[in-house]
């Protein structure tokens, strides 16, 4: 039963009960039932029927909420699977492209490294598919969990400043945003020689469009395009591609004090209401 129907019943039933009792009392029971007794009876009757109706209504609301929660949980699972599938596709497509280039050049060692990278991503994807996604977890929560795991594996400390968006970012946008973050931290692990990294993901201009900024930096040797090749070059292409698809601008610069900073800014695209 819909909430609109319950609302109408809550308005109409008390009126019918009290009005109906008063009509019957005045038309048929006026001589047999005193005013004082009638007031007592209508009070008790109203209380009893209100209790029955309220109990039934709240049970209906609870069942409706449980059904909606179950549907939302299923939807979250499907969105999580879609997100992981997109990430896996992007990762393997990028590495296969690099593998093909290295094989054509006869660089067997680099090709072996690419195969090892594919194996790593496949194992991680299988693990993720066997692990149920956290119910109700926000993008910020999932990102924080991933960053903690990345820091534990690499030994590179990560300073996090991540806003919890008031509404969930659309799943398709989460995939692209996380792909940029993952690629940036992959580059830090492979090329920076850093021991500290930081990430800032925040809403700005909340009253004027809910724009967001992403800033990732490290204290490593700095970014030098002429010295960085291999998969990193194609990773840059993929990051710029994802940023463009989100309507965002992406820049990478070497910091004067050492290290590299990646900066992305764009508009928030909310999930469509269900």
Q: 89 lies in a domain?
A: no
188 lies in the same domain as 58: no
What is the CATH number for 192?
3.30.565.10
Domain hosting residue 22, numbered range: 3-66
DSSP run (H or E) holding 157: strand 157-162
Distance of alpha carbon 218 from alpha carbon 33, whole angstroms: 87
Q: 92 lies in a domain?
A: no
180 lies in the same domain as 268: yes
Pairing of strands 249-254, 157-162: unpaired
Distance of alpha carbon 264 from alpha carbon 172, whole angstroms: 17
Q: How many domains does the chain have?
A: 2
Q: 113 lies in a domain?
A: no
187-213 tens-digit pLDDT: 888 788 899 999 999 877 655 555 889
Last residue of a domain, which of 66, 91, 114? 66
Q: 83 lies in a domain?
A: no
Question: What single-letter DSSP state applies at residue 197?
Answer: E
Angle between helices 171-187 and 139-154 (to 10 degrees): 20
Dihedral of alpha carbons 93, 99, 104, 105, sign: positive
Q: Which residues of the chain have pLDDT under 70?
A: 1-3, 6, 73, 76-77, 79-81, 83-84, 87, 117, 120-121, 123-137, 164-172, 205-210, 224-234, 268-274
What pLDDT, on a 0 to 100 scale, did the predictor assign at position 231?
A: 44
What pLDDT, on a 0 to 100 scale, did the predictor assign at position 136?
A: 55
CB of 117 closer than 8 Å to CB of 231: yes
What pLDDT, on a 0 to 100 scale, did the predictor assign at position 143?
A: 84
Q: 273 lies in a domain?
A: yes
What pLDDT, on a 0 to 100 scale, did the predictor assign at position 110?
A: 76
């Amino acid at each position: 039963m819909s909430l609109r129907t319950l609302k109408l019943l809550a308005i109409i039933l008390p009126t019918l009960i009290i009005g109906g009792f008063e009509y019957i009392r005045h038309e048929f029971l006026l001589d047999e039932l005193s005013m004082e007794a009638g007031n007592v009876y209508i009070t008790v009757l109203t209380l009893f029927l209100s209790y029955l109706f309220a109990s039934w209504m709240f049970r209906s609301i609870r069942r409706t909420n449980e059904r909606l929660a179950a549907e939302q949980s299923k939807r979250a699972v499907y969105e999580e699977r879609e997100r992981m599938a997109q990430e896996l596709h992007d990762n393997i497509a990028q590495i296969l492209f690099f593998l093909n280039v290295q094989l054509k050049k006869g660089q067997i060692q680099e090709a072996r490294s690419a195969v090892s990278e594919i194996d790593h991503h496949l194992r991680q994807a299988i693990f993720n598919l066997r692990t149920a996604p956290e119910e109700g977890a926000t993008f910020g929560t999932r990102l924080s969990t991933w960053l903690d795991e990345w820091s534990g594996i690499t030994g590179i400390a990560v300073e996090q400043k991540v806003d919890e968006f008031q509404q969930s970012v659309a799943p398709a946008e989460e995939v692209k945003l996380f792909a940029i973050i993952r690629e940036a931290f992959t580059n830090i692990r492979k090329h920076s020689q850093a021991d500290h990294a930081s990430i800032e993901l925040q809403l700005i201009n909340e009253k004027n469009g809910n724009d967001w900024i992403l800033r990732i930096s490290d204290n490593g040797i700095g970014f030098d395009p002429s010295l960085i090749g291999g998969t990193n070059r194609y990773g840059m292409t993929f990051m710029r591609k994802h940023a463009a698809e989100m309507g965002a601008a992406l820049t990478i610069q070497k910091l004067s004090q050492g290290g590299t900073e990646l900066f992305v800014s764009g508009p928030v695209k909310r999930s469509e209401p269900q």
